[in-house]
Structure 1
Amino acid sequence: MENKRTKTKWLLGIIGVVILAGGILRWVVFQPYLIPTPSMEPGMAPGDHILVNRLSYRFWAPTRGDVVVFAFPKDLKRTFVKRVIAAEGETVELRDNKVFVNGDAIPEPYVKPGDYPPYGPERVPEGKVFVLGDNRRESEDSREWGLLPKNYLLGKAWLVYYPFQRFRFISRAS
């Protein structure tokens, strides 16, 4: 009888540790976010739920193509989701419905087709990134409010987990 109680205590202890670790991982490493607007279509639609790795930019610099969650520069209580188009030291320009970084057109298979106005050229200084939504016609981004300070980055989007039929890992090409 004593042996059964000991096993039960161990099992409950292990379950408690797993639940605690899951909670810590959820709030320290992975944070859920909701896509509220069509600015990231077609890859992410309004109502999509994503998981964001909050530790990414504590160890690595953001790079072109990363989908990031950040505090909105005009209202730090709000969060936005956009794609890094140009990092520190790069020059970005939008013309003829294409994006040029350092003078070269970059491939953007994730962009929703449509016209958008020219921008730049502008050199991205140290400590900042240039971000755009994938749906350029429906996105409030660096073209409107300027370059994003890197310290506003909250994390890198990792996967779409809901709705289940849209489940997928988020890559630089999607």
Structure 2
Amino acid sequence: MENFFRSIGEFFLELTQSIVIVISILLIVYLFFAQPHQVNGLSMYPTFDNGDYLFTDKISYRTGKPKRGDVVVFKAPEAAQCPTGTGCDFIKRVVGLPGETV
């Protein structure tokens, strides 16, 4: 009987360790590498439809600048009316670069 309780205890210890490792890895990926976003609105249709989910890469623009045609995510200006009322992210396509007139 003692071995039974010991094996159950070892099982739950391993399970807890595995869960902590998985959550740690997901947190690191979320904070430094990729972040999920939901598309609100039809401004990116037909590339993205309203309600679509996508993961954005957080590394690309640390090493380079956006190019024409790239899809970027950025914090909305304070004057923007966000559906949540507290601020949101915009998902837009780059059509002009610095120094160009659009």
- TM-score normalized by the length of structure 2: 0.68
Report the counterpart of residue 65 of structure 1 in structure 2.
69
Report the counterpart of residue 87 of structure 1 in structure 2.
97
May I ask how many residue pairs the two structures share in their alignment? 92
Report the counterpart of residue 167 of structure 1 in structure 2.
none
Deviation at 1:11, TM superposition (A): 4.6
| CA–CA separation in structure 1 for the residues paired with 2:63 and 2:75 | 19
Q: In the alignment, which of 4, 10, 20 is matched to residue 16 of structure 1?
A: 20
In the TM superposition, 1:14-163 aligns within 5 A as: 14-75=18-79, 77-89=87-99, 91=100, 122=101
Letter in 1 for 2:27: G
Gaps of at least 5 residues in structure 2 are 81-86
Structure scoring higher RCO (CA < 8 A, sep ≥ 6) equals 1
Gaps of at least 5 residues in structure 1 are 92-121, 123-142, 144-174
Deviation at 1:74, TM superposition (A): 4.6
Bigger share in strand: 1
Letter in 2 for 1:12: T
Where 2:75 maps in the other structure, the secondary structure is strand
Where 1:26 maps in the other structure, the secondary structure is helix
Report the counterpart of residue 84 of structure 2 in structure 1.
none
Percent identity of equivalent pairs: 32
